[in-house]
Amino acid sequence: MNTASPVLEVRGVSRAYPLPRPRPLAPRPVRQAVADVSLTLARGESLGIVGESGCGKSTLARLITALEPPDTGHVLIDGQDPNTLGKAALRRLRRAVQMVFQDPLGSLDPRWPVWRIVAEPLAGLAPEVPRADRRARVIDALAAVGLGKDALDRYPHQFSGGQRQRIAIARALVTDPDIVVADEPVSALDVSVQAQVLNLFLELRRRRGLALLFISHDLDVVRHVTERVMVMDRGRVVEAGPTAEVLAHPAHPHTAALMAAVPRLEAAWTGR
Ligand SMILES: Nc1ncnc2c1ncn2[C@@H]1O[C@H](COP(=O)(O)OP(=O)(O)OP(=O)(O)O)[C@@H](O)[C@H]1O
Ligand SMILES: [Mg+2]
């Protein structure tokens, strides 16, 4: 693995979805969800992606995590394009980029105990890891998010919202990824709990050298966890740069409008 080259490179990716025909036989219109987006992420770096609902953030996340192929353009993870790989190589590459979603209840199977939820990516993506080692990796991942062994045999509903998001993060960490793509990971949490989970992301970056792609509509959240930010509008990147600069002097009217719309998180952070 080359430590100098970017851990993620996105080159001009686009993705369109067909819309219903306005009337029979009319040409089928499309929604350009992501349009010619490029970005690079260095090892251990944290990049925020912000923009209004529907601007294409989650679609971009699905392209980057190879859940969907782009119509045009390329995604390179550790220099490799997932869309050109065979099954075994793709499995190996998928370990390097894991995802955390907004709603931990929706993304964790309620019928599974925590050990099985956290172990699942290992079972699917690293079948060569012996069962006995899986348990140790699950315990490590839980410890990294501040949960003990007593969590192993409990079920998602037995945890608070913040703890459930920790379980989702442990699940993302268990394959020892280079990149975590977090799509609105604190939007469903109370403001006081948001600050704790954001601090956890900061700590994981520091301790594990994890690169973070952090998607949020909330600029205050992005301010606290990212050093660079990209602003999207209708599928395109309209502004990008160091987070502090972009937020202090937004050059694009869309960024300024986003800033005017966000509630302040400051109160929850001053107690840190
Ligand atoms: N599978 C799909 N089929 C059809 N249209 C889709 C699909 N996925 C996304 N879109 C459309 O593409 C656009 C971008 O959606 P996307 O979910 O990426 O936005 P987003 O920025 O994540 O929004 P939000 O902040 O609400 O999560 C929207 O207009 C959406 O309706
Ligand atoms: Mg989304």
pLDDT, one tens digit per residue, over 5-40 is 899 999 999 999 999 999 999 999 999 999 999 999
Which residues, by Cβ under 5 Å, contact ligand 2, an ion? 57-58
**Percent with pLDDT over 70 in the chain:** 94
Question: Ligand 1 pocket test: which of 31, 53, 258 has the largest number of ligand atoms within 8 Å of its C-beta?
Answer: 31
pLDDT at residue 272, as a whole number = 38
Pocket of ligand 1 (CB under 6 A): 17, 31, 33, 51, 53-59, 217
Q: Rounded to the nearest whole angstrom, what is the distance from the C-alpha of residue 264 to the centroid of ligand 1?
A: 26
pLDDT at residue 83, as a whole number = 92
Greater pLDDT, 132 or 73: 73
CATH for 8-16+31-269 (3.30.70.141, 3.40.50.720, 3.40.50.1000, 3.40.50.300): 3.40.50.300
pLDDT at residue 270, as a whole number = 47
CB 189 within 8 A of CB 161: yes
- Judged against a pLDDT cut of 50, whether residue 271 lies above it is answered with no
Single-letter residue type at 15: R
Euclidean distance between CA atoms 70 and 67, whole angstroms: 10
pLDDT at residue 132, as a whole number = 87
Q: Beta strands 179-183 and 46-50: pairing type?
A: unpaired
Residue nearest to atom 17 of ligand 1 (CA): 58
Entry pTM: 0.92
- Judged against a pLDDT cut of 70, whether residue 48 lies above it is answered with yes
Average pLDDT score over residue span 45-56: 95
